Structure 1
Amino acid sequence: METGKLIVFTGPSGVGKGTLLRKLLTQHPELVLSTSVTTRLPRPGEIHGTDYYFVNLEKFQQMVANQELLEWAEFAGNYYGTPRFQVEELISQGKWVILEIELEGARQIRQTFPKALRLFILPPSLWELEQRIRRRGTETEEAIAKRLRRAQEEINAANEFDIQIVNDDLEKALENLEAALFVPC
């Protein structure tokens, strides 16, 4: 049986992680994106069990206390975490499981799952990251400033990761991502 693998995918908000992951998963359906647990409310169109497992704060705290999460963190007033059983089960079946998580969670994974491959997606510059966030048109000036401060902290931690990929050109970044994942061992 093929050995499973855990792949941690991290980078600042607005860097294009989601876009890169969607393209990667389309081209490599053998990869599995882990479904996170969150205390935030579902957005329109999101489906429980597909996009996230939506739980209340009490249930989330119970999962933390019972060590049911590989990692967890608070972000923007809500809690997010990775269900341990689901990930361990998939890896035991030989699957390659991707976690798209925040820096704090990635640091926890380094402790709880040291063999994980940890990837960090970087913007070409902080200025370009700001432009991407502004183009979304969904953030207040205060929220943009907060995201940029956090992004700088995250970028400063990029060297903690096994591989850093700059997302300056989507196709080039995807090629670099594929090379990092599928290099013959």
Structure 2
Amino acid sequence: MEPFLNPILQGKPPQPLLVVISGPSGVGKDSVLMRMRELGFPFHFVVTANSRPQRPGEIDGVDYHFVTTERFREMIENDELLEWAEVYGQYKGIPKFEIRQAMASGRDVILRINVDGAATIKRLAPEAVFIFLAPASLDELRHRLLLRRTESPAEVERRLAMVADELAQLPNFDYVVINHADRLDEAVGQIRAIISAEKARVYPRRISL
């Protein structure tokens, strides 16, 4: 099979990318994606289905597709999800149709997902771009989680105990970006640079789902 050269050499748009942004709970994945939207990044941001209760300020269909546990189980049975997991007694999953429709139209796709979910996507789409969003320190991550006030102190410590296992999966990622608490635009800028570099690959990634 001959190597697939970048379409820009023939004056065509580059191949759409599937970009996976992952990292520990509380590291700021949502904040990064929100800032990318504010800056007008021309991507399709996949909205994850979630069975947990909607938090104050969250918008259904924008932050998550909030569904009942019963509906989520139907989605699993009907093979409507690319990936799903039960996390802390609640279900999260990625609807297949959003990714396929976006990539068919030539748009890049951004996935926000936990570390275990990223490992599943790696098996299904190894040519995706995998970015690990990491905290500057465990103390900073603890502070972020406590500020959310959505978990008890015991739950916060349970999440922090998982970070070592999550960091152990770093070799499965292509890039790591440190998200400092007061330097959000710096992290977003690094992600923009990664995506720009990927677009310029001589032999681009080819995604098939």
TM-score, length basis structure 1: 0.90
User: Which of the numbers 157, 163, 182 marks the counterpart of 1:151?
Assistant: 163
Runs of 4+ off more than 6 Å: none
- Name the CA distance, whole Å, in 2 between partners of 1:47 and 1:132: 21
- 1:26 corresponds to which of 25, 29, 38: 38
* Structure 2 residue aligned with 1:51: 63
Given that residues 10 and 121 in structure 1 are in contact (C-alpha distance below 8 angstroms), is that contact kept between their aligned partners in structure 2? yes
* Number of aligned positions between the proteins: 185
2:185 pairs with 1:178: no
Residues 128/44 of structure 1: CA separation in 2 closer, same or farther (3 Å cut): closer
Q: Does 1:37 align with 2:36?
A: no
CA contact (8 A) 2:22 2:133 kept: yes
**Aligned AA (1:31):** F
**Structure 1 range deviating more: 79-88 or 55-64:** 55-64
Asked if 1:86 corresponds to 2:98, the answer is yes
- Alpha-carbon contact 2:132-2:176 (below 8 Å) kept: yes
Bigger Rg, which one: 2
| Corresponding letter in the other structure for 1:4 | P
1:4 — aligned with what? 16
For each residue in 1:89-141, what CA deviation from the matched residue of structure 2 results, as whole angstroms up to 9, or x when unmatched? 11111111111111121111111222211110011121221122233344322
Q: Secondary structure at the match of 1:42?
A: coil
Q: Per-residue deviation at 1:60?
A: 1.6
SS at match of 1:28: coil
CA RMSD of superposed structures (Å):
1.8
Conservation of the 8 A alpha-carbon contact between 1:126 and 1:152 = no
Structure 1: gaps (5+ residues): none
Matched residue type, 1:171? D
Q: Secondary structure at the match of 1:98?
A: strand
- Separation of aligned partners in 1, 2:28 and 2:169: 18
